Each structure stands twice: as structure tokens, then as C-alpha cells.
Amino acid sequence: MTGFGRAKLEKNNRIYNVEIKSVNHKYTDISIKMPRSLTYIEEKIKKEITSNISRGKIDVFISFENYSDEGKEIIVNSDLVNKYMEEFTKLAEENNLSMDIPVTEITKLPDVLTLKHIDDDEDLIENELLECTRQAIENFVSMRQQEGNKIKEDLITRINKINEIVEKITKESTGLIEEYVVKLEERIKEILKTDIIDKARLAQEVVIYADKSSIEEELTRLRSHIIQFKQIIEEEKPIGKKIDFLIQEMNREINTTGSKSASLEITNLVIEAKTVLEDIREQIQNIE
């Protein structure tokens, strides 16, 4: 199912932004783009996502700005500064130059200053980023639930349509055997030019026809699958694979119904049912 969630967290001049978006996918495929300084948290972020989202191609975008002095230490490389000053003094004496160098200019020289992050700061950032990630996931799930409710309404409408078609097929199948008997008797009389018919032989042919053309089992299973469908769709957990399998079973039953029946009306109803089932199958690709 497609979805989008965003969250922003600001704490003591540390700013976190997390965006999560997903598109349909058979499996779980997570891609995270984040600053290199935060890659040590990547696996924990993936774990948070997979514990809430079971399927989809998921892209995560994380930005981080740290304007806080908490957890930071500035290291001055004094030995290197002394070496710079020795060379500057030597250069000044050789060329009769002034040595009035502001200290701020010294700090701009390569490797004079180093900004060190204290280890405790990593734990702090990790906790705050995970907090922001959980909020983004919550917003993401909330949006998908809204979309899911709309899809659910659509699926219920479509499965009710299948139920209507099944009842129409049931109605159309009533009396088909009797019609076959009448047509068979008329055909025999026409071919043999006689009104005398072997009733035992006729009964045998009718039994064979009834056995081959009966669709009662298929219709019974279809009704059972419809009930299962309505039960599964109410479950509070990923149901996409379950419904996908159920639709395959329903397709199998409706195809068998079509192959058994010689009725044009039933054939047309079977085609209509297959169209609706295909619509359902496409729709369930949008859910977990």
C-alpha cells in the first residue's frame, strides 16, 4: 500500500527530520538515506520500521542539523600551532616582515582545531532520532489506515457483487436437468422417428449428464469463500496474502462453473464474476 509519513523533532538546537514513503511491493524493501554521521543507527531504524510495516518498497529520508554545543569538545593542536609559529617567525626574520598575526587567523590553519563528539552524545542523538522516527512511522501508519478503510469499503462492495452473481447462477442452474431431459427426449424421437423411448437408457444418460454438469459443489464453495473473505477483511493484521490466495481459489471455482455449464446465461454471469474478481485481485495489491 502506498503511504507517507513525516516528523520533525527539535531539542536543544538539534533538529531532526524523518520522511517515510512507500509504494506497493511483494516484499519488504527498505532504503535509507541519511548523513554519514548517523549511519551507526541505521539498523535500529530499520528494525523500528519492519516492526510496524510488513510489506512495501519503503524509502526513508533523514536530515540532521546540530547547532548545540552539548556533547562536543574543541581540541587545539598546540604542537602543530608551535610549528606554524616557528616557521612564521623564521619567514618574518628572513624577509623583515611583521609578526602581528591575530589568533583567529591561526585557528583557520589546517588541522589546528578539531571538533570531537563525546560518546555520550551519540547515545543522546540515537534516542532522539529514534523518537522522531517513531513519530514519522505513526503518521505513516495513520495515513495508510485512512486509505485502507477506503479500500476496505470498495472490496466489500465488490465481494457483495460476487455474492449476487453466485445467487443468480444458482437461480439459472435450477431446472437445467429437467430442460435437458425434455430436449433429449425430443432429440431421440426426432432421430428414431418414434414415440417409444427406453426410459432406463434415458435415465442413465440423465444421471451421467447431471454428474458432469452439476455446479452445486462449486457454488457452495464460492459461498464459503465469500464468508471467509468478509471475515478476513475485518482482521487487524496484514491480510493481503490471505486474500490473494482466497481470490485464486474463487477464480478456480468460477472457472469450473463456466466449463461445466452449457447455459449461455450462466456463461455470461461467469464472465462478469471473473471481471469483478480481477478487479479485487488488482485492488488487494495495494494492501499488506
30 and 80 housed in the same domain: no
Taking only the tens place, the pLDDT of each residue in 135-149 is 999 999 888 888 888
- On the CB side of 161, CA atoms within 13 Å amount to 18
Alpha-carbon distances, residue 58 vs 21, 99, 196, 237 (angstroms): 6, 59, 76, 19
281 and 253 housed in the same domain: yes
Taking only the tens place, the pLDDT of each residue in 2-17 is 789 999 999 888 899 9
Taking only the tens place, the pLDDT of each residue in 67-115 is 766 556 677 788 888 888 888 888 888 888 777 778 877 777 787 777 6
* CATH code for position 124: 3.30.230.10
Domain count, the chain: 3
Alpha-carbon distances, residue 189 vs 194, 196, 198, 287 (angstroms): 5, 8, 11, 59
135 and 87 housed in the same domain: no
C-beta atoms surrounding 230 within 10 Å: 14
Alpha-carbon distances, residue 99 vs 63, 92, 176, 267, 286 (angstroms): 44, 7, 112, 101, 72
pLDDT at 116: 64
174 and 129 housed in the same domain: no
105 and 28 housed in the same domain: no
17 and 135 housed in the same domain: yes
Residue 176 has pLDDT above 60, yes or no: no
160 and 223 housed in the same domain: yes
7 and 129 housed in the same domain: yes
110 and 131 housed in the same domain: no
Band (32; pLDDT cuts 50, 70, 90) = very high
176 and 250 housed in the same domain: yes
- Average pLDDT of the chain to the nearest whole number: 81
Band (200; pLDDT cuts 50, 70, 90) = low
Domain that residue 94 falls in: 72-117
Paired with 62 in beta bridges are 18
pLDDT at 193: 59
88 and 35 housed in the same domain: no
57 and 138 housed in the same domain: yes
pLDDT at 244: 87
